[in-house]
C-alpha cells in the first residue's frame, strides 16, 4: 500500500477577488485513471496556497465555490450547481491536457 504525502500548490494570482458578503471554499479535484474525486483541502497559513494529501500520481485541478454569508450561519445556502459547474470546468481542462499529452 502506498502512503499518502502532503502536497502544496500555489493559488493562481489572477483569481477573481471574493465578493463582499461571500466566503470562498477551495477544492482539489483529482483524476486518477477513470476515477474523479474531491480531496480534503485547506488553505496555507499565508492564504496563498492549498495543502492536501495524495497517494497517487494523478492529474489535479483547483476548484472553488463562493457562498453567500447568511445572517444565521446554520442556514447558509451552498449553491450546488456552481460547485458542479466548477468541477466540470476542471474536468474539461484535465481532459484537454491529457489529450494534448497523448497526441502531441
Cβ-proximal residues to 100 (8 Å cutoff; 6+ apart), any chain: none
Counting the structural domains of the chain, the total is 1
Which residue segment(s) compose the domain that 82 sits in?
Answer: 5-11+19-103
- Residue 84: CA count within 13 A, CB half-sphere: 3
Q: Which pLDDT score, from 0 to 100, does residue 81 have?
A: 65
The rounded average pLDDT for each run of 10 residues, N- to C-terminus, in the chain (104 residues) is 85 89 91 86 92 86 88 54 73 71 65
Amino acid at each position: 500500500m502506498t502512503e499518502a504525502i502532503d502536497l502544496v500548490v500555489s493559488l493562481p494570482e489572477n483569481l477573481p477577488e471574493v465578493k463582499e458578503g461571500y466566503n470562498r471554499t477551495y477544492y482539489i479535484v483529482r483524476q486518477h485513471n477513470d476515477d474523479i474525486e474531491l480531496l480534503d483541502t485547506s488553505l496555507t497559513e499565508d492564504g496563498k496556497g492549498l495543502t492536501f494529501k495524495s497517494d497517487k500520481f494523478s492529474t489535479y485541478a483547483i476548484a472553488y465555490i463562493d457562498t453567500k454569508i447568511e445572517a444565521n450561519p446554520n442556514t447558509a445556502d451552498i449553491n450546488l450547481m456552481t460547485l458542479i459547474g466548477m468541477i466540470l470546468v476542471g474536468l474539461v481542462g484535465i481532459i484537454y491536457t491529457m489529450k494534448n499529452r497523448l497526441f502531441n
